[in-house]
Amino acid sequence: MLDLKAFEKQAIPTMYEEAKNYDLKKIIQKQKAKLGDKLVLLAHHYQKDDIVEWADEVGDSLELAKKVSNHKQAEVIVFCGVHFMAETADILTAQKQKVLLPDLSAGCSMADMANANQLKIAWSKLKSLFNDTVLPITYINSTAEVKAFIGRYGGVTVTSGNAEEIVSWAFTQSKRILFLPDKHLGCNTAYHLGIPLNQMATWHPATKDLSYEGDLQDVRVILWEGFCSVHQQFTPLQVKRMRKLFPDIKVIVHPECRKDVVDLADDFGSTAKLIKLTHKAKPGDRLAIGTDNNLVGRLQKEMKEKGVFVHFLNPMACACLTMNRIDLPHLAWILDELAAGRVQNQITVFDETTKWAKLTLDKMLELTK
């Protein structure tokens, strides 16, 4: 497996950085045509418009996890997303297929908030407190090594699109769950399944301890202290301001947002659900969307033609900075290299890690068919 930190300052030839977008797009168009069916280009919804336009498949984490295994004819998958997504693609594809990430510094700050060593310490402590009554669940926004650890202990991966379904299943298997690394998705999911806040504890990986007021035997959910830097930017005040400006507005947000934001929203859901809700809007409807602003901006332009008013819940929020490291210069460069027979930035998960991580992903896909 490549060491992402070793490539944080990876340089590509200056000719790509200095080229005009028009010329970069000509390169991408030419090399995509040359590579043909050997290549599949995947892009996450949070990518910029000029990347999404070249994708063969666009989706959220769950959609792309399902779609990647449909392209058995492709020799190479270029994943315009972040590192954990490319790892997931490598785990779910055939060994002969190569997965490439245009910029190796495109990581995920949330995934970095939980590593296998931290999880080992947490698991040991939780075992001492709760014996064998805890089932581990990891959000797909986690490293392959974390997924492998979860797999060794019978756990499962979730996405924001299937979290309620899988957490419901988990409670038929175990009295308690450990949910990592996003405390907000874990809290919102469990709460909307009827688990009260006073039955949720928090594991703090930095201090290696569990915070909970009350009898530990009442704990049903252990939340990992982690979060998404993008969705952390949304606040209740923004929801209230939007409603004051537009009393008829419908506010929809991602479940990675804080619980107090989700509680004030009209609806919440995965990226795919937010898009679906937006597309269901009728002319004259007004929506405020709390998620990555690259996607919201795209929906705003698209729905304007249908007479639907789409607003940024927080117009000043930063888009995912690491996702945005995938840009036209890096995409043009990696396709030029590929067309010349040079494979760059291949993401390869070790076989042993793949074996265990795949168990958690296969279980997720089995439960959400």
Fold match between domain 4-106+322-351 and domain 111-228: yes
Q: What's 19's DSSP letter? A: S
Architecture of the domain defined by 4-106+322-351: 3-Layer(aba) Sandwich (3.40)
Element (H, E) at 62: helix 61-68
- CATH topology classification for 111-228: Rossmann fold (3.40.50)
Cα–Cα distance measured from residue 309 to residue 304, given in angstroms and rounded to the nearest whole number: 6
Beta-strand ranges (E) seen in 200-318 are 200-204, 209-211, 221-224, 250-253, 267-268, 286-290, 309-312
pLDDT (tens digit per residue) in 277-307: 999 999 999 999 999 999 999 999 999 999 9
pLDDT (tens digit per residue) in 245-283: 999 999 999 999 999 999 999 999 999 999 999 999 999
Sorting pLDDT into bands at 50, 70 and 90, what band is 71? confident
Q: Report CA Rg, the chain.
A: 21
Place of tokens 């005009």: 20
What's the mean pLDDT in 205-210? 97
pLDDT (tens digit per residue) in 95-105: 899 999 999 99
Domain residue limits, the chain: 4-106+322-351, 111-228, 231-312
- CATH topology classification for 231-312: Rossmann fold (3.40.50)
pLDDT at 215 over 70: yes
